[in-house]
Chains A and B, each alone.
Chain A
């Protein structure tokens, strides 16, 4: 387990335990395309949840 150092003890109390992202519409995630296969050489660099289904 990598040691993570917490620099501050600041706690933010909110009415709900929410942290916030996506302030603007320009924020994007990187979503796996459906029906594409990652080439073997590149696939070594990522641990996939499940193999992509090949396009029919």
Chain B
């Protein structure tokens, strides 16, 4: 990764410049981390592991995610997402995006899971190369 490096969310800091996306302009943009909520524990909440070809992400049900179903952009809780829906994924080397299908969803429950939640200047960022609402 030449210009953008993987930065673990746990180690992210305010003022970091990160890759994000503008859904209106349909363009990759940079955003700044402007803060975060306090570290807390998530207990007994539904969680969803969204598995794509070659990447995955695990989210609690509280998380909002943009996805495409039959070509239509939807933004909703990740619990609504289904296998076959598409997420926007980035190639940080080429600085291009493409939609990738969810091939599997694993359900679970959180159990005293420590979480950290950064906030970005435009409300979106790529986590594990997948576009999420912050």
Measured CB to CB, the residues of A under 8 A from B are 1-8, 10, 12, 14, 16, 18-33, 36, 38, 42, 45-49, 52
Contact = CB atoms under 8 A, between A and B. Distances in A.
State the majority secondary structure of interface residues on B.
strand
A53 to B, nearest CB: 12
Contacts, number: 164
Contacts of B18: 29-32
A26 B5 CA distance: 14
B57 interface: yes
B35 to A, nearest CB: 12
Interface of B: 1-10, 12, 16-19, 22-25, 27-33, 37, 40, 42, 45, 47, 57-64, 66, 72-77, 79-80, 90, 92, 94-96, 110, 113, 115-118, 125-129, 132-134
Contact of B76 (A7, A23, A46): A7
A21 B90 contact: no
A45 B22 CA distance: 12
Interchain residue pairs A-B with the least CB separation, the first 10 = A31-B7, A45-B95, A22-B9, A30-B19, A28-B6, A20-B60, A30-B4, A47-B29, A32-B17, A49-B30
